[in-house]
Each structure stands twice: as structure tokens, then as C-alpha cells.
Structure 1
């Protein structure tokens, strides 16, 4: 027997006898074998295709032809607190199934969909094995809160690393306000719904094993002066020092990392009770010495149904342990390897680390090898649900979860570390820990009804969430021995001298919400959705703890109209529009409350004893509330030529009000000089496009290709609050570091976000000093410039993002090629700014440091000028994976595939730095995007070989 679609084999389709546990999956050539007796009904299902049923009555062979569902219109899409058929969705929701995930070695869940969702920017700015991807949806939406999406794992808040990428079945992205408003204050950055792999078929009894091994290399090394270059320059009169050695310091701190990953998944059970289990082990090494991370993730899920499927239960537990050992290999050690004199030696004559007296100038190998930095993170997630259906159309569900994690870190340096040899600390040690417990309860009722052509669902629910966070850390130095690292931290005599440090903290917050949603469609032609959430948070002022977040969207399936019947080229056409409001919550749970702290510097002598002062550190603000985003979205979904071409277009406009910002306020009447208040408005608009094409479909070759494109524009409208009578025209962001010590960006009311604010360089004078443009447009020496001469120059946020994803299948071979690009942005090349100027001859420099600038040799102190801000457009050949599915000849083996893969293979760019994508734009860099930091852990290129086997 075999399954066909357009006369092509369909591997992996589920074939079963109806109302039984008798079932199999089709092989790579679409064939299957199944035994039955008498009369029966054969049910065949496959992702993206319509279900087919065949009546059996003794046949020995049968061919089943499947057709593609209309644009996957019957495909189930996960939305907030439920699911919808793709054809009924009226909001901007993107779905990526496991078969379309990026193949090969990926860092976390985000890399599975990198370049596959329009408007979702995912980058990997570091090669650090302990690092993660950065993710942003539709631009920036907050001043001090997070712009990252809310991430839910099977409905439970989590992170991109909560489950192993191999354990994910689908990722749905709620992009616009109408889709995300059901999640209220947590959803301004969008919502990412991760669905783990489950045993959804009563006939699924299998074991799947996947494994890969990979090697990594640094993408690009900075081209620093070599020992030979030093000696040539010394002969030319440059004041370098020849120390007699010949050392490539960067090569000395690098290693050739070998990493591996193993994943084992179990499916079993029957229609009443079934289970899913998975074990994932990952051991990744870094390109720096003494860097790496081990991770073990175990997940178990159990489903059980009772009372003729009226009551369904689910229990799930996920445990995750991550261990990393860093030594002293961090960004600062990388900096030391770059600036180190290449004629210096690693060791002194007596075998110690060779150190020198220059400022911030340490032996990188000494820093790495004479430090220990171990970190262990443990998380346990337990959740369960009861789904009771008292009548056919009504579902009552209760979901409860408990997430508990803790982190333990230890750091120490030996007597041979520069902390002792140069700074006389005589050994240092620190220990820190934190724990977080988070509880969630959700009660929902979902009613579904169809009356003639009228179809509707009604959802109502209640949600409660609370969390308790605790942390403690201690630091000491001056030890009698370095043999114990941090394990006898009390032995350091700095404790007795009052020079050690100790800190502890505890915080708690609660969140409660009531929500509802109505969806309606008439004959799947006219579509409507409306939702509302009423939510309260303990993080806000006593007078503003509750907020309301509505959302609504409509859709018109134009292709269902009678006047479209003869338009055969258009298979499906849907116009949709929506509006929704979401919020951004304060990160500090006590931001609205006044606070005091003890401070030695503010103390006084009382009765011959110094008593610490008790001073205010935060003002009381009972009116503190969340930032509120209001978003409009218009979209078009289409399918052409029997869905050989499908896609969607979205146009959106956002406005974020009541921005949270820390203003300076007068003392008195306030007790502290700054105050966290709601002030300001931000605007955000953009366009997104997704086009999927099946250009080639023959018996031996198929080619699926998709293109994503997005553009986004951010602007700060104002930054003021009438209630507290405060206004700011701008704020500065970013920092160059020592010795320049300047901000890099300025965000001005009425202006775009992400703009560099810098002295514009226009030349070099005969003495090698910079010439810059003054505020009135004239050319002046840099020594005569002032802060008023700085101007806006370039922007670190790309105007355009694009992705091109291709999947080929040629008989038993499969090939995937993913390409991404970012355009219309600039990057501050900090390595050039610091190392392409030979001002400090104690430090090494780039080979280009002695090249003419504006036709002259540069002879200027280190400064921040526009010369180092570069156009950074790029196209990355991001991933290429070649796989081969073995013939189904091994007994007991249902499917086996081997593959090789390359990640971050090649970058086409005119940018002179190491990697135009190696920039941070989250957290401290949210408003200072586009900086390639001189201390960044370099990005890597990965080559992988792997295997997938199903038994």
C-alpha cells in the first residue's frame, strides 16, 4: 500500500485502522504495511494535507491520494488559551512546524525559526557556549522594561532554553496586539508559544534517537601586528619595545572545540493512557580555553482519559541542569590577547606568567588559567491539567504549575593571578546563589457551537501568578592559601578588616487576570474575534494596580464569495484587520514604593561610635502603572495556483503610552533625587511579508522556498509628565569605555531611536590631528570642539530584514539552504576605534593602524568620531544542511537519516569588523544598538555531522 500527493510519495504520514490502536507511519517512499480483518476503515493523515478515509473489505493493496489542505487552512494554530484553524485566524500569527525548523546544531529554540518569521529579528551576537540568542519582534516598545516577547512552553512561562530544540513540535508567534492582548501586561513584545512533542496518536509507540557532533572555529580574527611587524616598525623609528619573543597571543587562548548532543524520545501507550518522555544531553565547548557548558534536560508527560473521554488529564515534569566552567576566559581576557605585545613571552625565566606594568595590561593566559568560575543552574517545572467536558461543546479546564530554579556560582583566583601578583590581594574568592519559585493557576471554560452556517466559540478564564526571588553573595580576599578556592571563604582576612562584601535580597510579586474571548464566523467567510483582559499587578502603585486590555479583529474570506468562483488562479484570499492593547510591566517589584538603606558614608559619630546612616533610595509613587501599547494591524493572506504560492502581508502601527522612565525630581518636596514615573510616548510602524512557493514538484525532485521581509521604524514622540511637572528633551545611551568615556547614542523626542551621536570627522590636519565638523557646518580642529558640536550620524537598527529559506528533496537526499540579511544600518567598530590608532604604544594595534587616514598619518589621542561608524549591510549564508534517508531495510528501524550541516558559514558585507551581526541590542544596549564591542566573545562557525533514527 502507498500514499500519494500529486503522484509524489508522502513519507511520515499516519495510517491507522479507525477506532483501534492498529496503526503505522509511511516510509520514505510512501509505502506502508498494515494487517486487518474483515471490514474496516483506513484513516490517513499528514501535516498540511486533508485527512483521507478508505473503506477496506479484504483488499491486499490500496493507493491513497492525499491533497494539500487549502493553504493549510485546516492546520491547527495555537493561539492564546486555545487553538484555531488557520483559515479562521484574523490576527497576525506566524506558525513554524518542526519539519521547517533550521536543521543542524542550534543554540536554542529561537534559532529553529531564524529568518523564517517576518518581523522577528533573531541574532547570535556571541560564540560563548553559555550565551543565548537575542530576539526582538517588531522593534522596540519600552524605555526601561523588556522588549523581548513573552515565551510560553505548553502554556507555562519559560525561556528559549527551557526545553531542548529537539523536543519542540511547533512554534507559534502572536505578532500583533489583537492576538497578544489576551495576555495583558506581559505581551507588548509579542508572544511566542512553544509546543513540545506529545503523543497525540493512540497508535504511536516508538523510540527516536538523534545525535550530532560538531567542531567550531572563530569566524574572523582581528589582524593585529605580528612580532615581525613590530621589529620592522622599530627599525622605521616607531617607539615599540622588542622583548625578544614571538607570540600570537590570540592563538594561544583559543582551542579547537569539540561538542556533542544526544536526544532520546519515547512515545507509547494507547487511546486511554499514553506517555511521552525525552532525555537530552548537550556538551558544548567554547573556542576559548577553559570555556564550555554541559546541559541535561529530562521531560516526561502523561495523558490519561476517563469517562468516555469526558475527563482528560495531563501531567508533565521538566528538569534542567546546566553546568559551565569558565576559568578566566571572558571578554577582558580576549582584549588582553589582542593588545599584548607580540614580541613578549608567555613565561618568565623561572616559569611564572610574564606580566608588565602598563595600565589594564595583563597576561591573558595567566588570567584564564589562574581563575576558576563554575556555575550550576537547576530548574524543575511541574504542571498538570484537568480538562472536563460535561457536554459535547463545553470544555472546563484547570492548569496548575510550579517552576523552581536555583543558581550556584563560585569564583576564585590563585596566588599566581594578577589579583595577587600585581594588585596584592593575596587570593580572591566569591560565592553567590539565587533561587526563584513561580506558581501559576489558570481556570478556563471554552464553549464551541455551530448552528447552520454560524460558528462561534466563547472563552472565559481566570489566571493567578506569583513569584518569590531570593539571592545571596559574599566576597573575600587575602587568604593563607589558595588551595581551597571558594570552599573556605571565611579564611580570608579581609573579612576581619571589614573589606569583604556580603549582600542579600528577597522580592515577591503577584499577578491576577480575568479574561474572555469570542470568535465567530459565518460559513467561514466573515470572521470576527474580540477579547478582553482585566489584570492587576502588585508591582504598581496602590492607585493604579489594575488595567484593561481589549483586542478585536475581523476577516473576510474573499475567495469564498460567489464572484470568485471563476477566478481559478486564486485558491484562497483573506483580508483581515485588528486592534489590540497590551502592557509592559515594571521589572522591579517595588518600584512604586519608598525605600531606605543603610549607608556608611552618610553616617555620624554617636557616643564615640560611627553609626551608619539610614537614607532614602526611592520615592513613593502611588500612580505608577504599566506602559500601554495600542496597535493596529491590517493583513492579507493569499494562496495562488492551487496553493503552489502562498503567503501573507501585514502593515502595522503601534503607539506606546505611559513610558516608564527614571526622572530627576526636586528634593524637597521629594525625599530622593530621582523618581520612576510614567512619562512619554513612543511610535512604531512597519511592514512584513511572507511568500512560500513550491516551484518544483516531480516524482524525484521537490523544491520549497520561502521569502520573509520586514521593515520597521521607531520614534520617541515625547518624554514628559504633567502630573510631576517633568520633561526631558533627550537621553543619552551607550558607552565607549575607557579611556574615551563617552556616551555613543542620543534618543531625542521627535527623533528616531538608535541614532549615533558623535563628532563628525571630515579630515586630518598636517599634524595628524582630527578635523571635525562644528555645529554651524564649518571644519575645526578636534581640540576646539565641544559637546555642542556632536551630531546625529547613522543608526544601529536595520531598516530592512530579509530571509530566504530553501528545502530541496531529491529522491532520498534532502538539502536545506537558509540565507538572511539586514540592510540600512550602521555599526560602531570599537576594535578599529581603539586599535586602529597607534596612540598608545604600550598596546598592540591593527595592521591598518599605520595606513593613511584622509591621506595623512593619524597622530591623535583615542576619540569617538564618525570615522569608526561603518555601513553594516550584510547577507549571511546562515545554514546549509545535506541529509540522506537510508532505505527502510533494517528490521525494527522505521526511519534513519544521516546529515552534515554548516552554521554561520559565510557573510557578504563591506563592514571591516569581525561580524556585523555581533552586536547587542537588548538590555543595556536597547537604546544603543549597533556597537561591536571590543570585549565581545567572538562569533563562531560550526560544522556538524548527525543522525536521526526512529525505532
Structure 2
């Protein structure tokens, strides 16, 4: 802790300045490849603006302070740092900046140089992920990678949704597979951002190496390992405040009473025991500013035959909803030991504990609908909101409910690697993911005492306390055995992989509940409840197994002709068709290596690549194809009532996994001395044998008159573009500007006689989305609102919805699409979906004299969202939004767009469909790194402080909280009970010893 204080003292001293001994340093900078002098190389004293440039022969001379570190940089060359020490002559060789091309990228069961890739693989380094004050690393991917859409929520411990190149299914899984150090999983909330070395996203057919689980893309997470050398200690921390962002302003007292005049003229709003003269801000009463912190410390190092990396982290998020909070502890140990000259043992092991007090999202409907003329709370008593709208008092709901979720997780692997020859590697690994989950919810009893303020909320009461307990565990283990041959012949390289993968997953849960539990946390046990009044128990489990065989061959000829092919055979317990085969092929041509490209100076690197492959999706219920029998069914036999069993539903016993065929062509380039780099991709991704419901005659006895089978096809076609510019000026000023964009078109191209899929229920309006031929998945399917009736004569001459006698001037008018003279469900139209046609990210970076500034912008366009909270109305006395109160139709202020009232009889229509386009300043960070001289004196290896802000502002057309609305493929984009988006302000510290 003393060292942390010392950092701030040193910052102060750095601003004041102090005298130091100086010395003259000179030397020459040459190219590592041809040993020729390099003119124009920037030679800067790190952390200062003191510097010079080399002359025509690469010579330089400079006066520096004692203990200075010289930084040599030049466009197209790798930057190099040299401590001066007592040296007076320093000669430096700079290597060509092919670092980005020579970087090793994880591709699944192995690695490749980036320049050798034939597939579309996006990468994000761990140091970029650490810049964001977010709980899960997936949220840090937002705005960074083309083809990767990240839909985040402000809710603590909520996993952001990732969609890789669109939605390719309706009823099976649509989330990518996560692979953490070889462990296959569906959730990476247990990983500290500070432990991550890199994240790779396999976007195209290269993901076929993971077979039946790869159709939605693969996210590979690699954690840090130690390096041989001096032991290093790293401490990273940030502390911040999270606040609700972009809250919807609700009607005040006067606006609400004015609305009731039209919506509920018989409602008594002057009942002193129930109302008061002010306006209650229900969101202000239930929400707060929450504190967040993240502390992480790591120790790493090693000797000649071993390396180690240990870390521990503690993350807290108080949540912006009162009573909501989350804490997470993470511990990691990654070690490698060379047992002998040819045998290496390694492990990557982690433990995490999540501790969350949950919140029921249903309170948001009550907050939105509650009357503003009722006080929220006075002392320990709560206002009677049910007198105006029959909704519960959300504060009472929060106060009476205590949910605690504990999640313990052990994840990692043990691996043994044997290299009998330099070109052959044999590897066996045991990977495991063990989860224990405990969810306990206690609801205390409360009653209505029918006075001005009530301990309950009118109709809101709970006569008996209750306790519900759910406990579950799951164990996944994967055994990998691989043999890898790697041979190099001059500038050519050949790699061949052969392996087997065995996977088993089993889970079980048990739950129970009882009432009349004492209102004492120390007595919250099921055994202390009243078993004579209520007792419920439930239990279940699941078992899944997979056996796979995988092979891959890659060949690089003369560093310019690239070939890749793989085949995975998967057997899964989820299907009667036990085996599936998933091939992929890819080819690349490094055009810049050709002789005809050597005389030009514009392009530094140019590569064309193409890939094709088939991927699978088996994310369905384990018993989807198995016939199951209902038991204890009464029937008569020989005039005697007996109990028996019977199969009551129909299942397709020949279910297959969904198969996605993907074709990709891409162009990668760098030019202008490696200052500008970019990537352009076109992809065509078609899913066949997709799951949908087939209608069957009722005579067959299925209660739903339908069964699940493989009869649909989906297609995603798109274009991705990435551009990055990076430059360092002679005065030490450096900047970078990058951007990426993705254009995607999603369509259901063949339902083959199946039943269109309805979803997205919004209260009394029913389903508002429909997935059918020729439309995107989850398209909004509603009536077309074409204006507002202005007079009775307009009503008399137009088709109307429902009873004509109940339609009044100021009501919405709908289009008679089928021309039958009346408005019915048959007049509904498709009006877009939540899936954006374009999403993009813009990233800016500046650095000068130890200061660094980064800004990230994220947005999407061309999608729609449904304002479900505005549409969801069961009582005419529900509150309304202030904007609607000012814009709605009245006799003295006619409107052509907004109706006079929105009631429980208002049907789903385009009136509630709004634009989902937005652009957001996702992150803004200002940091300062101490000068090298100060760090040396303080014995710091690194020292940086920073200020950061997340979600500073959003420009949106949607009138709701946020157009970023997570959901399933069929019902995404509907705002009903969304957790508020949050804005974060934080200060952080990175210190290394």
C-alpha cells in the first residue's frame, strides 16, 4: 500500500521537476535485415518530449538525464527501447514491423502465424480488455471486432449476448461456443479480465474444427502464463461509480390527472387517504448510484525448467437497483514444468465464487405503471399503488424479497506433452468444468391494513412467508489426445494434426419450498417451515456425451501459397443419427510476395484468402428425440379404475443436428509503410436442417398439434470491413484511428411446410413477432398504424378494429391490408426485426509524453425495437410517459401520430415499433504512465494511473430506456422488464514490480 501512495507522490514530483546528472549519448541505427543505416528514426527519451532523429546515415546524438531509457521508433519498423545506464555509445538494429503478421493466433487445438491464416479470425489482446471496467470480458469485445455483435445489459452478473455473423437458428442455440484454455463451456463470467492473454473469435468455416458446436462461431480465451526470468508482481485496480443512464421521464401529477380525464373519467383522484399533492418519481425511489471495484494481483516468473503464474481478483458491483449486488472472487494458477528434455507438464486451473443478491425484473412494470400521485413510502409503510392501476408497490416488492445466489466453479486442465522428435508433439489433456449453484429466495409476509399508507399495497399482500431453495451441480470433462507433426523446409512449412476428443456432461438439481418460515436469516431453512400447509419438491438432471475425431493439415509454400483442410467426426448422444462429419478447406495467396510486386512501394502486404466448410449445431434438449411417457394416468380396466402410463406427445425420432454451410472470401493488406492496415470479407452462411414445428392433425393426439423436426433453412450474407491507421511522429506524438463495420442480411429461406414461429408475448397484445419464409428471424408482425382519427366522420367511413361503437376521435387508425372492410389479425404486416443491417465500431488512440487517450464508439443501424412497456397495459389508470402526455391527441390539441389513450384493448401495431439504431460513446479513457527515471527510482517495472468512463452518452431514436435489448432469437428487441443501462465513471491503477 505504501508503494501505491508513493506513486502519487512521484506524479507530483514529475510535475515539479528536479535536476539530474546528464550525459551525451551517440550511436547509429541500422536495419536488421541489410545492416544499412536508417534515416529519420525517432530517438526519444521515454516519458519526455526530449528527442532527435537519425541523419541520412542513421547516426544520432543526444544529451539525456541519468537513468534515461531511449525509445527508437520508425514507421514500418519494430519499436525498441534501450536503457542508457552508463553507456555513451548505443548502436541499434531495428527489425521490420512484421509483428502483426508474425503474431501467433490460436486456431483450436493449435496455433498459426497470422500471415498463414486462410480463415476469418478476429483477435483482441488482453491489454485492451483490461481497459474496460466491466465484469465479463465479452462486453469488452463490443466495438472491437467486425462480424461480432455484442448485446450487453447493465445488470450485475449478466452475461452479454454474442452473435457471430447473424442469427442462424430459431429453436436451437444461437450463442457461440467458448473455449477457455481447452475447456469447452457456455459461460466465461468466472474469468477475471486481468488474467486474459488474448481472445480469438473463429467467425468462418475455420470453426469447423469444433464440429457440432461451431455453427454460431467459437470464442477462444487464452489466459496468461509465466515467463522465465525475474519474478514479476502486478497490481491492477479500478474503483468507480455506476449510475442509471437514459431513464424515461414519466408523467407528473398534473399530466397524469389530465390523462385520467380521458382514460378513466370515473376514477377518483382526490382521495386524501390515498393520494398526496406532490409527484412521486418511482424510478428515483427504486434506483441508486452503485459502487463498483475491481482488484487483481498476480505473480509470475520462472526458471530454466518451470514457469508459473498466480493471480487473485475480487470484483464488486453494487448494482443500480436497490437491494441488488454482486461480488466475485477469482483465483488462478497456471504452471508449466519441464519434467525432462522431452516431457512437459502444464496446468491452467481457476476457482471462482460468485455471490449475488438478485432482483425480480418484474418490478419494472410496476415502476412504469404506478400512479405518481401516490407516495412511495413513509417510514416503514408503503403507498397503496393498487388504488390507481392495480399494480404492486415496487419498493415493497424489493423490501420483502431476499434472493441470494451462490455460484462456485472450478475450471481448468492438466496436460502432458511429449516431444520424441523436434518435429513431433504428442499431447494429452484432461479438461474439466465443475459448477455448484445454490439459489435461496425468502419472501416475508405482509398484509394490507387499509389506511393512508399500508404495510402492503392494497391488493398487494402475502399472508404467509415462504422460502424456496434450489441447488444444482454440473460436471463437464473433456479428454483431448492429439499428435502434431510440424516440419519446416526453408520458407515452407507443413503441419498435420490428428486427435480424439471425449466429452461428458452431467447435471442434477433439487428444489423445494415451504411457507411460514421465521423472518430471521439465521432460520431460513426448509425444515423450519410448516410442512402441513405447503411443501413442494422437484428434482431432475441431464446427461450428454460426445465422441469426436479431428484432423487438420496446413501447408505454407514459400510463405505465399497457403492451404488448410480439416475434418471433424462428431458423435452426439442428443440424436439418433449418431455421427456427423464437418469438413473445411481454405486457401490463401500472399500476393505481396510475388516477384511482380517487388518494385512497388505502396503495398507492404497483400493476401487473398478463401474458405468453405460445414459446421454443426446440437444445442437442443437432450430428450428432444426421445419418446417419454406420462405416468399415473387413470383409466378403467375390467370396470376398475387403475393407473397407467402413456405416451402423450409426438417426437421426431430421426432428429438431426442443424448444419451450417459457410463460404468466405477475404482480402488482407497493409500499405504506406505499414501505417494503414485493413481487411475486407464477404461471407455466405446457410443453415439447413434447422428446427421448426410441423403441423399435424389433431387426430394423432399431440396436445399442441405440432412436432419438432428439421424443416427450415436460414441464410446470413454479409460484408465486413476493418481499417486501422497508426503513426508515430518525430516529436514522440503517436496516434491510431481504426474502425470496423459489418453489413448482414438475415432471412428464413425455406420453412418447407412448417408452422410459422410466433413469439414475443406482450401482455394483452399477444405475440408480436413472427418468423416465416422470406423474413428475418424474429420479425415484428403487427397492424400498420396509419394515423389518428380526427373526427366521427372519418370513423364512419373507415374500417376499424373491434367494436365500431367504441371507437372515438383520437384513436389509432389502421390499414386494411387485405381490403375486406374490417381490421383483423389478417391485416398484420412485417415491419422489420431486431437484427441490425449494419453495426460498427470506431476506435481512437493518442499518446504523448506519457499520456494516453483512448475513445471507442459503438453503434448499429437498420433494426427495429418494440416498445412493449408502453403497449403492456391492463388498466386505464396506468401511468404514462411525459413525452406521450405532451404529444397525445386531445380535442384542443389534435395529433396525427399519437392517440388520445392507450388501453388494454389497443392492438399490437407499428405505433409501438421504433427505430433501434443508435450510436454510443462506449469508452473514454485518459491515462498517464510515469517516466522511466521515476519508475527506476521507485523500483517499479510499470506504473500508470487512469480515468475512464463507460457508456458516456447514447444518441438514439428509441423513446425507451435503451435500444440494446438482449433476448432469444425469436423475441429479442422487446422492451418490457429491461434492466436500466448504466454509465460508469472509474479511476484505475496499474503497478508492476
Alpha-carbon shift at residue 488 of structure 1 (Å): 3.3
| Per-residue deviation, residues 119-142 of structure 1 (Å, max 9, x unmatched) | 100121x32112121111000112
- Asked if 1 retains the 8 angstrom alpha-carbon contact of 2:567 and 2:581, the reply is yes
* 1:301 equivalent among 334, 337, 351: 334
Question: Is 1:404 matched with 2:447?
Answer: no
Alpha-carbon shift at residue 525 of structure 1 (Å): 1.0
CA distance in 2, matches of 1:349, 1:198: 55
Alignment partner, residue 698 of structure 1 = 730
Alpha-carbon shift at residue 620 of structure 1 (Å): 5.2
| Per-residue deviation, residues 429-474 of structure 1 (Å, max 9, x unmatched) | 2110110011110001111112344421111010000011101111
Secondary structure, counterpart of 1:792 in structure 2? strand
Alpha-carbon shift at residue 586 of structure 1 (Å): 3.6
* 1:647 equivalent among 678, 681, 687: 678
Alpha-carbon shift at residue 651 of structure 1 (Å): 0.5
Secondary structure, counterpart of 1:659 in structure 2? strand
Alignment partner, residue 772 of structure 1 = 814
- Asked if 2 retains the 8 angstrom alpha-carbon contact of 1:209 and 1:265, the reply is yes
CA distance in 1, matches of 2:513, 2:313: 35
1:426-437 matches, cutoff 5 A: 426-437=464-475
CA distance in 2, matches of 1:83, 1:801: 29
* 2:824 equivalent among 786, 789, 802: 786
Alignment partner, residue 966 of structure 2 = 920
Question: Is 1:139 matched with 2:139?
Answer: no
- Asked if 1 retains the 8 angstrom alpha-carbon contact of 2:446 and 2:463, the reply is no
CA distance in 1, matches of 2:554, 2:672: 30
Pick closer, same or farther for the CA change 1:262–1:677 going to 2, 3 Å: same
Alignment partner, residue 581 of structure 2 = 548
Alignment partner, residue 806 of structure 1 = 844
1:560-709 matches, cutoff 5 A: 560-598=593-631, 602-603=633-634, 614-616=645-647, 618-619=649-650, 621-666=652-697, 673-709=705-741
CA distance in 2, matches of 1:623, 1:855: 52
Question: Is 1:869 matched with 2:896?
Answer: no
Alignment partner, residue 17 of structure 2 = none
CA distance in 1, matches of 2:665, 2:382: 67
Alignment partner, residue 320 of structure 2 = 287
- Asked if 1 retains the 8 angstrom alpha-carbon contact of 2:126 and 2:193, the reply is no
Question: Is 1:86 matched with 2:114?
Answer: yes
Alignment partner, residue 325 of structure 1 = 357
Pick closer, same or farther for the CA change 1:518–1:233 going to 2, 3 Å: closer
1:169-568 matches, cutoff 5 A: 169-177=197-205, 179-199=206-226, 201-230=227-256, 239=267, 241-242=269-270, 243-246=275-278, 247-308=280-341, 310-326=342-358, 329-347=359-377, 351=381, 354=384, 356=386, 360-416=390-446, 422=460, 424-477=462-515, 479=516, 481-483=518-520, 487-493=524-530, 495-496=531-532, 500-541=535-576, 544-568=577-601
Question: Is 1:797 matched with 2:870?
Answer: no
Aligned length: 892
- Asked if 2 retains the 8 angstrom alpha-carbon contact of 1:150 and 1:191, the reply is yes
- Asked if 2 retains the 8 angstrom alpha-carbon contact of 1:261 and 1:283, the reply is yes
Which has the larger displacement, 97-106 or 522-531? 97-106
Pick closer, same or farther for the CA change 1:845–1:817 going to 2, 3 Å: closer
CA distance in 2, matches of 1:898, 1:425: 54
CA distance in 1, matches of 2:579, 2:75: 42
- Asked if 2 retains the 8 angstrom alpha-carbon contact of 1:729 and 1:749, the reply is no
1:784-863 matches, cutoff 5 A: 784-834=822-872, 840-843=876-879, 845-849=881-885, 851=887, 852=889, 853-854=895-896, 858-859=900-901, 861=903, 862-863=906-907
Alpha-carbon shift at residue 949 of structure 1 (Å): 0.2
Alpha-carbon shift at residue 898 of structure 1 (Å): 0.5
- Asked if 1 retains the 8 angstrom alpha-carbon contact of 2:195 and 2:224, the reply is yes
Unaligned runs of 5+ in 2: 1-24, 30-39, 48-63, 448-455, 792-807, 890-894
CA distance in 2, matches of 1:665, 1:490: 48
Question: Is 1:7 matched with 2:42?
Answer: yes
CA distance in 2, matches of 1:825, 1:428: 43
Alignment partner, residue 767 of structure 2 = 743
| Per-residue deviation, residues 194-232 of structure 1 (Å, max 9, x unmatched) | 111111x31141000011111011111211122354466
* 2:941 equivalent among 879, 882, 894: 894
Pick closer, same or farther for the CA change 1:641–1:175 going to 2, 3 Å: same
| Per-residue deviation, residues 504-536 of structure 1 (Å, max 9, x unmatched) | 102111111111111112101111011101110
Pick closer, same or farther for the CA change 1:486–1:524 going to 2, 3 Å: farther
CA distance in 1, matches of 2:876, 2:951: 35
Pick closer, same or farther for the CA change 1:133–1:9 going to 2, 3 Å: farther
Alignment partner, residue 761 of structure 1 = 785
Pick closer, same or farther for the CA change 1:420–1:399 going to 2, 3 Å: farther
Pick closer, same or farther for the CA change 1:349–1:810 going to 2, 3 Å: closer
Alignment partner, residue 50 of structure 2 = none
CA distance in 2, matches of 1:547, 1:847: 56
CA distance in 1, matches of 2:46, 2:630: 66
CA distance in 2, matches of 1:100, 1:46: 23
Alpha-carbon shift at residue 920 of structure 1 (Å): 1.7
TM-score by length of 1: 0.88
Pick closer, same or farther for the CA change 1:877–1:190 going to 2, 3 Å: same
Pick closer, same or farther for the CA change 1:318–1:747 going to 2, 3 Å: same
Alpha-carbon shift at residue 64 of structure 1 (Å): 3.1
Pick closer, same or farther for the CA change 1:47–1:514 going to 2, 3 Å: farther
Alpha-carbon shift at residue 645 of structure 1 (Å): 0.6
Alignment partner, residue 910 of structure 1 = 957
Question: Is 1:934 matched with 2:958?
Answer: no
| Per-residue deviation, residues 553-612 of structure 1 (Å, max 9, x unmatched) | 00111101100011111100001111011100042112221112336xx54699999976
Secondary structure, counterpart of 1:252 in structure 2? helix
* 2:190 equivalent among 162, 170, 175: 162
How large is the Cα RMSD of the aligned pairs? 3.2
Alpha-carbon shift at residue 143 of structure 1 (Å): 2.1
Pick closer, same or farther for the CA change 1:945–1:348 going to 2, 3 Å: closer
Secondary structure, counterpart of 2:386 in structure 1? coil
| Per-residue deviation, residues 154-187 of structure 1 (Å, max 9, x unmatched) | 121232313111111111111101x111110010
- Asked if 1 retains the 8 angstrom alpha-carbon contact of 2:370 and 2:389, the reply is no
| Per-residue deviation, residues 22-41 of structure 1 (Å, max 9, x unmatched) | xxxxxxx999899xxxxxxx
| Per-residue deviation, residues 728-779 of structure 1 (Å, max 9, x unmatched) | 252222111x232x2111111233334211000112223222210012369x
Alignment partner, residue 718 of structure 1 = 750
Alpha-carbon shift at residue 395 of structure 1 (Å): 0.5
Unaligned runs of 5+ in 1: 13-28, 35-43, 721-726
Which has the larger displacement, 256-265 or 333-342? 333-342
* 1:752 equivalent among 766, 772, 776: 776
- Asked if 1 retains the 8 angstrom alpha-carbon contact of 2:178 and 2:188, the reply is yes
